[in-house]
């Protein structure tokens, strides 16, 4: 089975690999973002989606195509589905916030449990904010961080316990907290697996009664650069390389039973896969505890099923499936999946410096059907990012490809414009309102065409700009939204920003700006911007929340970004002003600029401890990196003082007594803030 978009709908398609045709199509409720979170339980798929009213929908589909709508009590989700929903050990878990009501939702063995957090008398006050600490290779169990109305903080277990409710912990030590959560579940309470983050990243067993003691897990063949994928309450899939440097090794995998400690070599199911496939394609793995089959889907590139009893493996690649004959309305390039998210566009985005994002998982190609512009027209035109407001076929076909009428919105010199473009596109392209395209716009003629996604994006740096005006636009939290006006070479540039408490932009101060696609962003204020000191990294948007729309033509959003670099992963929480008409979605990959010094600190501290910290002082240095002020923050963690010289999130507007989530090194007193309780 795979899930594909069909115009403005989502359709689950049961695909017969033998007959090479679609057996059945099952429509799924969805909104414009077409998100799906899957789970595999008792031989059936549970598909979580959101309908157009943002209400949670749960549909169960078995192997014969029989469907059942599971009860959701009409719960609405204000956030993106993937922000607060995950699959863990045969369970689908979600957090839903609907006005003042907040819900913990779990689907297990096809049964839905919905708990109202606001009515839980075990909590000292109702939750005001929930953030996830989802499972990674160094933790035992997922959990939630909950900020309560009385300014206290607790943790909630990431799966329901044997009493079918969540466990609550007030432990400040993560290992003690995880042990408490484990004791209330069927999970092995003594021996847990973690990846030692030191090179070459092998798997160790940890006794939860003595968490400081780790024992290397003995496998038939050494397992390096390892990954742990929990499957069910008793089993996990262990994947790694045969060599310490994975580029020189082969992919190797074991099915590990955490209760009887048995290992089974299942490397055969990955004969078409490489180590890079497993680490970069965000694969899904499924195995119910009492079944023999292990299912594998590498984001549509390949799929496999292994019968652990017989050792028989069936696998197939996308290239093989693409040769199958399919029905006319299933002529999408078939990304192999037993179940996978809705494919999305893959277009180069151009939004702003630090944010240039593109959709994942689905290749979107807009061919150049007209001849290149004449040199004069090309010199007069510029490349811009545009948002699709509508797309309708005109009824005309050229070379069997439809001519489409696009209504597009874009920004030119800070002003929103709309334009109609007629263009022939590939029939395999997926077009929907809210999608992003690149256009070449001629302001003299007020005409535009869609262009090749690989056409280079122009970037212009303005050196030695000066701040000439600061215009307030209202409060956001404890900070103030302002419009900064800069002058450089007789030109004026406007940039939205936030002034946190005790920090002020001063007229006359220097700044460095970048104008990209008609939108101006701040590179640095009152300090020198040195490109050679910056690193260009890759991050994935994991959470998205609208904070305010307090300034014209911009919406302020808060993003959680998972940054990957040099075999390290760390989180950044960052607010951005997004121009009206442009869209950011969960799962987008974005380039992130960071100083080498900040990167080294974050990389080092991501391997250390983390926990709740109290702010004892905040001192601003009077300059920014990007739009984030640089400051010295003093923190108190478990009675020990820590300090952090770092950029801070201006929308948080930190004050003494605030609680944050920090990573810290007890040996040298260094710390970094990773989450803010205000959000």
Residue-level pLDDT at 510: 94
Instruction: Give the pLDDT mean for 258-287.
Output: 82
Two tokens, residue 137: 């290779």
Cβ-count burial 140-175 (b if 16+ within 10 Å, e if not):
bbbbbbbbbeeeebbbbbbbbeeeebbbbbeeeebb
Residue 381, Cβ neighbours under 10 Å: how many? Answer: 20
Does the pTM surpass 0.75? The reply is: no
Instruction: Give the pLDDT mean for 63-68.
Output: 86
pLDDT tens-digit map of 113-138 = 999 998 899 999 988 878 777 667 77
Residue-level pLDDT at 629: 94
When pLDDT is cut at 50, 70 and 90, the band that residue 363 belongs to is very low
CATH number of 381-450, picked from 2.40.50, 2.20.25, 1.10.10, 2.30.30 = 2.40.50
Between 241 and 339, residue with greater pLDDT: 241
Between 13 and 676, residue with greater pLDDT: 676
Residue 467, φ and ψ in degrees, nearest 5: -75, 125
Residue-level pLDDT at 99: 66
Residue-level pLDDT at 372: 39
Q: What's the CATH number for 598-676?
A: 2.40.50.100
Taking Cα atoms as reference points, which of 590, 606, 489, 475 lies closest to residue 540? 590
Half-sphere exposure of 26 (CA within 13 A, CB side): 21
pLDDT tens-digit map of 28-43 = 888 766 788 888 888 8
Residue-level pLDDT at 373: 35
Rg of the chain over Cα atoms, rounded to whole angstroms, equals 26
Tokens 């909950």 locate to 146
When pLDDT is cut at 50, 70 and 90, the band that residue 589 belongs to is low
Helix (H) or strand (E) run with residue 590 in it: strand 589-595
Between 461 and 359, residue with greater pLDDT: 461
Taking Cα atoms as reference points, which of 67, 58, 70 lies closest to residue 24? 67
Q: Determine the Cα–Cα distance for residues 287 and 303; give it in Å rounded to an integer.
A: 14
Strand partners, 31: none
Residue-level pLDDT at 244: 92
Measured torsion, CA atoms of residues 492, 498, 500, 504, in degrees rounded to the nearest 10: 10
Strand partners, 231: none
Instruction: Give the pLDDT mean for 610-616.
Output: 90
pLDDT tens-digit map of 530-567 = 877 888 777 777 778 888 766 767 888 888 888 876 66
pLDDT tens-digit map of 634-658 = 999 999 999 998 899 998 889 999 9
Q: Determine the Cα–Cα distance for residues 236 and 246; give it in Å rounded to an integer.
A: 21
Q: Determine the Cα–Cα distance for residues 561 and 540; give it in Å rounded to an integer.
A: 5
Q: E-strand spans in 331-435?
A: 382-398, 401-412, 415-424
pLDDT tens-digit map of 460-496 = 566 789 999 999 988 887 889 999 999 988 888 889 9
Residue-level pLDDT at 157: 92
| Cis check: omega of the bond before 458, within 30 degrees of 0 | no
Is CATH 1.10.150 the classification given to domain 1-116? no
In this structure, are residues 126 and 99 in contact, taking their beta carbons and an 8 Å threshold?
no
Instruction: Give the pLDDT mean for 331-347.
Output: 30
Residue-level pLDDT at 549: 62
When pLDDT is cut at 50, 70 and 90, the band that residue 371 belongs to is very low
């Amino acid at each position: 089975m795979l899930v594909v978009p069909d115009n403005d709908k989502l359709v689950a398609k049961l695909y017969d690999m033998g007959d090479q045709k679609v057996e059945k199509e099952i429509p799924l409720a969805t909104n414009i973002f077409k998100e799906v979170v899957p789970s595999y339980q008792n031989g059936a798929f549970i598909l979580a989606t959101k309908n157009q009213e943002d209400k949670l929908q749960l549909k169960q589909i078995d192997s014969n195509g029989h469907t059942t709508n599971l009860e959701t009590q009409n719960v609405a989700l204000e956030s993106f589905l993937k922000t607060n929903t995950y699959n863990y050990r045969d369970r689908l878990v979600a957090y839903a916030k609907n006005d003042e009501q907040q819900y913990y939702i779990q689907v297990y063995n096809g049964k839905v449990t919905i708990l109202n957090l606001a009515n839980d008398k075990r909590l000292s006050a109702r939750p005001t904010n929930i953030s996830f600490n989802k499972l990674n290779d160094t933790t035992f169990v997922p959990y939630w961080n909950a900020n309560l109305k009385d300014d206290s903080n607790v943790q909630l277990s990431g799966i329901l316990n044997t009493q079918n409710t969540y466990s609550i912990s007030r432990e400040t030590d993560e290992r003690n907290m995880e042990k408490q959560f484990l004791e209330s579940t069927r999970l092995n309470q003594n021996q847990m697996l973690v990846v030692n983050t030191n090179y070459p990243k092998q798997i160790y067993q940890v006794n939860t009664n003595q968490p400081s003691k780790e024992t290397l897990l003995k496998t038939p063949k050494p397992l390096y650069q390892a990954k742990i994928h929990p499957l069910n309450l008793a089993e996990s899939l262990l994947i790694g390389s045969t060599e310490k440097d994975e580029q020189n090794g082969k992919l190797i995998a074991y099915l590990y039973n955490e209760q009887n400690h048995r290992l089974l070599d299942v490397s055969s199911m990955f004969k078409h896969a490489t180590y890079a496939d497993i680490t970069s394609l965000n694969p899904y793995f499924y195995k119910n505890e009492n079944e023999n089959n292990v299912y594998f889907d590498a984001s549509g590139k390949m799929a496999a099923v292994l019968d652990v009893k017989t050792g028989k493996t069936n696998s197939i690649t996308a290239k093989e499936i693409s040769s199958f004959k399919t029905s006319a309305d299933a002529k999408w390039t078939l990304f192999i999946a037993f179940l996978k998210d809705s494919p999305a566009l893959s277009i180069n985005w151009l939004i702003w410096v630090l944010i240039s994002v593109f959709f994942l998982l689905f290749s979107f190609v807009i061919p150049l059907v007209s001849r290149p512009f004449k040199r004069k027209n090309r010199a007069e035109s510029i490349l811009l990012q545009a948002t699709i407001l509508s797309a309708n076929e005109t009824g005309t076909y050229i070379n069997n490809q439809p001519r489409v009428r696009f209504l597009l919105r874009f920004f030119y010199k800070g002003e929103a414009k709309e334009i109609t473009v007629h263009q022939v596109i590939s029939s395999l392209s997926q077009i929907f309102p809210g999608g992003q395209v690149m256009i070449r716009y001629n302001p003299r003629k007020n005409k535009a065409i869609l262009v090749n996604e690989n056409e280079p994006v122009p970037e212009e740096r303005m050196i030695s700009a000066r701040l000439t005006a600061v215009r307030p636009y209202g409060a956001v939290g404890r900070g103030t939204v302002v419009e900064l006006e800069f002058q450089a070479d007789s030109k004026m540039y406007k940039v939205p920003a936030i002034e946190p408490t005790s920090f002020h932009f001063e007229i006359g101060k220097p700044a460095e700006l970048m104008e990209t696609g008609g939108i101006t962003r701040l590179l640095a204020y009152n300090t020198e911007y040195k490109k050679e000191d910056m690193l260009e990294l890759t991050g994935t948007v994991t959470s998205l929340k609208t904070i305010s729309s307090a300034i014209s033509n911009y919406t302020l959003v808060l993003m959680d970004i998972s940054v990957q670099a040099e075999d390290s992963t760390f989180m950044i929480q960052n607010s951005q002003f997004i121009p009206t008409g442009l869209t950011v979605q969960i799962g987008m990959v974005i380039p992130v600029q960071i100083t080498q010094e900040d990167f080294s600190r974050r990389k080092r501290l991501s391997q250390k401890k983390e926990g709740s910290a109290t702010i004892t002082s905040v001192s601003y240095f009077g300059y920014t990196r990007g739009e984030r002020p640089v400051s010295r923050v003093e923190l108190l963690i478990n009675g020990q003082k820590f300090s952090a010289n770092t950029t801070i999130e201006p929308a948080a507007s930190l004050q003494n007594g605030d609680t944050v989530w920090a990573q810290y090194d007890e040996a040298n007193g260094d710390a970094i803030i990773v989450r803010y309780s205000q959000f």
